[in-house]
Amino acid sequence: MSETIALVDDDRNILTSVSIALQAEGFVTRVYADGDTALKALTENPPDLAVLDIKMPRMDGLELLRRLREKSQVPVIFLTSKDDELDEALGLAMGADDYISKPFSQRLLIARIRAILRRTEHAGGGAEGGDLPESADVLERGELNMDPAKHRVTWKGDVVTLTVTEFMILEALAQRPGVVKTRNQLMDAAYQDDIYVDDRTIDSHIKRVRRKFRQVDPQFDAIETLYGAGYRFSEE
């Protein structure tokens, strides 16, 4: 079955051109010109991935993502204004999986979409895994339990809800406790197909993962920063 991509942008030209390009690649598209309409549709009938513009009237993309994350972990790519680092940082901090700056290449957007969808499939099809049996590939590291088949993470028995990108980064760290992973290695784990993201993107995802774990355990310190080197996961 073809994957469904939701496009949310107040620029009708972008909606039309990107929708046509995605359909030519075999995707099903749903388009929305404002955040209010999109929020209801995305929560009631989640797509496989959503592409959100940040700069929209009434409800902007950041507010849309904030409300969406209260109910869904659908993968999200943000479209940001060129050189607007604040938008990018806020989007990642709020749970976006990726961002692309306008003006953008449709070929690049399609490549990013395909990469995230592959990661979603690797992580067990997203957070809506249903009542699948526990996978033989469950990863247990101290108080951490990760089940890729269910896209399910627990810490000390409490569920921690992660986006696809956050899951992939944490899995890369937890697979080899005590081993330092550079930002480039974490980029390779989360962003395949030679898609480049900068250091700030990985750092933002790490900060959000830590914040989510500290919501269930304020003393969480299993992800360590080694300045100038990278990050590592500690079981102790």
Torsion, CA 57, CA 58, CA 59, CA 61, rounded to 10:
10
**Quick check: 89 and 80 in contact, CB under 8 A?**
no
pLDDT for res 168 = 86
Phi, psi of 150, deg, nearest 5: -100, -5
- Asked if residue 179 has pLDDT above 90, the reply is yes
**Single pTM value for the model:** 0.63
Q: What is the pLDDT of residues 158-167, one digit of tens each?
A: 999 888 788 8
pLDDT for res 183 = 87
pLDDT for res 86 = 60
Strand partners, 106: none
CATH 3.40.50.2300 location in the chain: 4-122
- Asked if residue 9 has pLDDT above 60, the reply is yes
Span 151-155, average pLDDT: 89
Residue 94 binned pLDDT confidence (cut-offs 50, 70, 90): confident
Rounded CA separation 42/124 (Å)? 20
Residue 73 binned pLDDT confidence (cut-offs 50, 70, 90): confident
How is residue 45 annotated by DSSP?
Answer: S
Residue 181 binned pLDDT confidence (cut-offs 50, 70, 90): very high
Contacts of 40 (CB under 8 A, 6+ apart): none
Rounded CA separation 221/153 (Å)? 16
Contacts of 197 (CB under 8 A, 6+ apart): 98, 187, 191
Residue type for position 176: R
pLDDT for res 105 = 84
Determine the topology of domain 139-233 in CATH: Arc Repressor Mutant, subunit A (1.10.10)
pLDDT for res 29 = 96
CATH 1.10.10.10 location in the chain: 139-233
Residue type for position 89: A
- Asked if residue 190 has pLDDT above 80, the reply is no
As a residue count, the chain comes to 236
pLDDT for res 133 = 45
Domain 4-122 has CATH 3.40.50.2300: yes
